[in-house]
Amino acid sequence: MYNYQNSNVFCNNSDSLFSPRFSNYIYSLTTENFAYLLDFKDKTFPEEKLSIENFDINSDQFPFITREDIYQHNNHLFISYYYKKRYFVDYDMDKKEVVFNGEFINDLVPEFRFFPKFQIENYWIDNVESYILAEYFPQIKDSFEQTKLLKETDNPVLFIYKIKP
């Protein structure tokens, strides 16, 4: 059984990037070539040989790593990926090396799936549907006066993070 997880496929910055959800390639829209190949060794999803439709990607038995979100900030490419739980990679595009690969241990909210959707100056902005926040993250919903009265039918909630210099 196939389960679809949300993820962004476009990333806009100086070089707009695109990556289909179940692909190991990240393409550059400005050069129209693939810019990066994700290599998770023996856990890399063999996209040419298998149909994702045959798997439950949320299952603990799913044997491959799947990319979730991509985000570019200056010379850094951030990628979240899933293998039994969520991990992050910070890739320095100038040095062509991985700066960080693993779990965040200082998340603002434990088990919260923050990942920026876009950037304005020194701010990362994420949005979460109100019903998701109410159902899955009641600790956040009940922490702020502005969200205590949140209804499932309200507009999405924006999370704004200031980037440290």
Please give the backbone phi and psi of residue 35, each rounded to the nearest 5 degrees, phi first. Answer: -100, -35
What pLDDT was estimated at residue 2? 31
In whole angstroms, give the CA distance from residue 146 to residue 32: 44
What pLDDT was estimated at residue 111? 63
Are 72 and 17 spatial neighbours (Cβ–Cβ below 8 Å)? Answer: yes
Domain ends where: 54, 83, 105?
A: 105
What pLDDT was estimated at residue 42? 92
Assess whether 118 and 82 both reside in one domain.
Answer: no
Domain ends where: 80, 105, 130?
A: 105
CA 39 to each of CA 25, 65, 66, 98, 129: distance values in angstroms, whole numbers, following the listed order? 9, 10, 11, 12, 32
Assess whether 157 and 129 both reside in one domain.
Answer: yes
Assess whether 79 and 101 both reside in one domain.
Answer: yes
What pLDDT was estimated at residue 1? 29
Assess whether 98 and 116 both reside in one domain.
Answer: no
What pLDDT was estimated at residue 25? 87
Domain tally, the chain: 2
Per-residue pLDDT of the chain (165 residues; tens, 9 = 90+): 233 455 666 665 556 788 887 888 888 877 767 788 889 899 998 877 777 778 887 777 888 888 888 887 778 888 888 887 778 888 888 999 998 888 766 555 666 666 666 667 667 777 888 888 888 888 878 887 888 888 888 988 888 877 665
Assess whether 95 and 117 both reside in one domain.
Answer: no
What pLDDT was estimated at residue 95? 94
Assess whether 76 and 120 both reside in one domain.
Answer: no
